[in-house]
Structure 1
Amino acid sequence: MDLLKAITTFNVVINTGSFSAASRELNIVTSAISRQVSDLEQHFGCQLLYRSTRAMSLTAEGKQYLEQFRQILNSIERLESKADDLNNILSGHLTISAPSGSASLGFLRSTSDFMKLHPNVKISWLFLNRFVDMVQEGIDLSIRVGDLPDSNFIARRYSSTKVNFVASPNYIKEKGEPRHPDELKIHNCLIDSSNRHPLRWHYQENSKPQYASVSAFAEANDGDAVASLAIEGLGIAYLPSFLTQRYLDSGELVEILNDFEFEKIPVSLVYPAKLMINPLLKSLIHYMLENKTPRD
């Protein structure tokens, strides 16, 4: 168990008032929040929270531990602030990864502004069509799209995007428009094979997440290429809006199955959960979160 991460999570649960609210704040699944709190209780050998299906409250031990936990978190914050003071002339080199085609989400603009303010800072960008192992590949910060599993990393909600079911008007004219995701199995599906689960297309029905299992009529490990295949009328694609919006605006693609789309999926800044984070990385993350624009 990462004790500091569990303490931080427990504090967020109390501050937000529920496990589900903490899940939204930290952008990890509710079950991971619950597991961290349970691990914390097991570590200290006591019950910290009373839980029911409708409410939760601190136990007497939970109140005592919460006070101590907050003192620990405040001490760490003061230490990090002191480190910032000692490193107020920022310099160094960071490597950041992001999905290919995602620059329109706005993070290039905020990082460029940060570099103008701190000319001794260098940033290398890796736009990749695959899941990256941040530790093995030396990535300091990763831009990730979608819900994130619990891990030894911290995720900060940066933005959001939609994922669209799209096809060309010519394909719809020739093959017809599916009315339900179940009908995708009789259509030509264009697959972005860089996704972790490329043959599972997620959708929402009656406010519940579902997925349709599809087969590949054609596939590519690049979302832009898949969008181009859809424009050529080869089939239906399932792609994030940062890849499709310009084609939707031009009329080269149209949205289908709108009633089954998720409203938004999160875009997160992901970085290692270290006790003393690199002051340069900490400053960049703070700047990115504080200087988002409406398009971000």
Structure 2
Amino acid sequence: MNQSFDLTPARLRELRAFAAAARRLNFSRAALEVGCTPSVLSRRIATLEEAVGARLFLRTTRRMALTARGEQLLTQWQRMETVMAELAADLRPPDGELGGRLCVHLPASFGRYRMAPLLAAFMREHPGVRIDAVYDDTYVDMVSGRVDLAVRLGHLADVQLVARRAGTMRLYPCASPGYLASAPPLRDPADLKAHRCITFTGYRRGTLWSFSRQRQRRAVRIEPVLSCNDAQAIRDAILAGVGIGLQGNYMADALVAEGRMVELLPRWQLPAFPVHLLWLPGADRTPALRALIDHLATALTVQ
């Protein structure tokens, strides 16, 4: 007798074969139910009887019945089927809706201004999904942090993650109309040397602002009057007339349209930042995560 009785896939096939035969008391009909031949079904039951250490059926040429051990095992299996059915019903979202909880890691200001409305729209469409949103500019290890989806700006270094490009963030210099009213002229990036400038300490290029226009290049080393690690605080300083600062289009476009900010040097371009969605390999097999990835990628690409 085999002392091990782990519920391996093979063992579960044997138990299903036994349960079908026990309910029908007919190997041929039971074989049709489980999708195998009668001889295969018979071998599975024989292997199960060897593992159990007891006969499960009494068989003659004209009659078939369960033994006491067979009746006991059938009762146990039926209890297990009930528990599995209840578990499946509990895991399945109502009416086929998506469900589950997802942890999403987002850049601080880009996340608040650009991503938060997209997450809200997704949750209105899929009310069964719960989202834990973390707004933070620091790098996060997705395994130890138990993060399902991360949004990152700029070029990627982590090759162990799956990445999907989802649009671009454009950066441009801005100032308030009040500041420009008394400021020196600004026709070329080199003129920034004569201006009060605000820098973002999280900007990878630091105080070196590199502009391009067709084949022309201008790299200007800024001497900041204010350095800050928060993009929203930089926006507020620009609006208050402190000086010229770089702003992402996700935050500045609306203010420029309202006339509260002015886009400067519009014919010159700063390097753009690619936007990527990242997840662990295989994680997108979860329906809710796959739907969120598609939703965000579509919305960010069409902007």
TM-score above 0.5, yes or no: yes
- Distance in 2 (CA, whole Å) between partners of 1:171 and 1:268 is 35
Contact 2:106 2:150 in 1 (8 A): yes
Q: 1:255 to 1:151 in 2, by over 3 A?
A: same
Is the aligned partner of 1:193 residue 2:201?
yes
Q: CA deviation at 1:257?
A: 1.4
- Distance in 2 (CA, whole Å) between partners of 1:135 and 1:215 is 40
SS at match of 1:260: coil
TM-score normalised per structure 2: 0.58
TM-score normalised per structure 1: 0.59
What are the residue-to-residue correspondences of 1:244-283 with 2, within 5 Å? 244-262=252-270, 265-272=273-280, 274-275=281-282, 277-279=284-286, 280-283=288-291
What are the residue-to-residue correspondences of 1:38-57 with 2, within 5 Å? none
Contact 1:230 1:237 in 2 (8 A): yes
Q: CA deviation at 1:89?
A: 6.0
Q: 1:199 to 1:90 in 2, by over 3 A?
A: same
1:179 to 176, 187, 190: 187
Contact 2:211 2:271 in 1 (8 A): no
SS at match of 2:267: helix
The percent identity for this pair of structures is 25
Q: CA deviation at 1:126?
A: 1.7
SS at match of 2:164: strand
What are the residue-to-residue correspondences of 1:74-223 with 2, within 5 Å? 90-102=98-110, 103-105=112-114, 107-149=115-157, 151-207=159-215, 211-223=219-231
How many residues are aligned here?
A: 208
Q: 1:203 to 1:136 in 2, by over 3 A?
A: farther
Contact 2:167 2:300 in 1 (8 A): no
**Per-residue deviation, residues 138-191 of structure 1 (Å, max 9, x unmatched):** 332222233434632233222333211111223223221332223333322111
Unaligned runs of 5+ in 1: 1-85
1:66 aligned residue: none
Contact 1:177 1:256 in 2 (8 A): no
SS at match of 1:175: coil
Contact 1:96 1:123 in 2 (8 A): yes
State the AA in 1 paired with 2:156.
L
- Distance in 2 (CA, whole Å) between partners of 1:207 and 1:153 is 35
Contact 1:98 1:128 in 2 (8 A): yes
State the AA in 2 paired with 1:230.
I
- Distance in 2 (CA, whole Å) between partners of 1:243 and 1:131 is 22
Q: CA deviation at 1:295?
A: 6.1
What are the residue-to-residue correspondences of 1:1-20 with 2, within 5 Å? none
Q: 1:276 to 1:167 in 2, by over 3 A?
A: closer
Q: Which structure's CA Rg is the greater one?
A: 2
1:237 to 223, 233, 245: 245
Question: Cα RMSD (Å) of the superposition?
Answer: 3.1
Contact 2:189 2:265 in 1 (8 A): yes
- Distance in 2 (CA, whole Å) between partners of 1:117 and 1:231 is 36
Q: 1:159 to 1:221 in 2, by over 3 A?
A: same
Q: CA deviation at 1:218?
A: 0.5
SS at match of 2:182: helix
- Distance in 1 (CA, whole Å) between partners of 2:267 and 2:202 is 26
Unaligned runs of 5+ in 2: 1-91
What are the residue-to-residue correspondences of 1:66-81 with 2, within 5 Å? none
Which structure has more relative contact order (CA 8 Å, sep 6+)? It is 1
Contact 2:211 2:218 in 1 (8 A): yes
1:287 to 268, 275, 295: 295
Q: CA deviation at 1:133?
A: 4.2
Residue range with higher mean Cα deviation, 151-160 or 229-238: 151-160
2:45 aligned residue: none
Contact 1:168 1:252 in 2 (8 A): yes
Contact 2:175 2:243 in 1 (8 A): yes
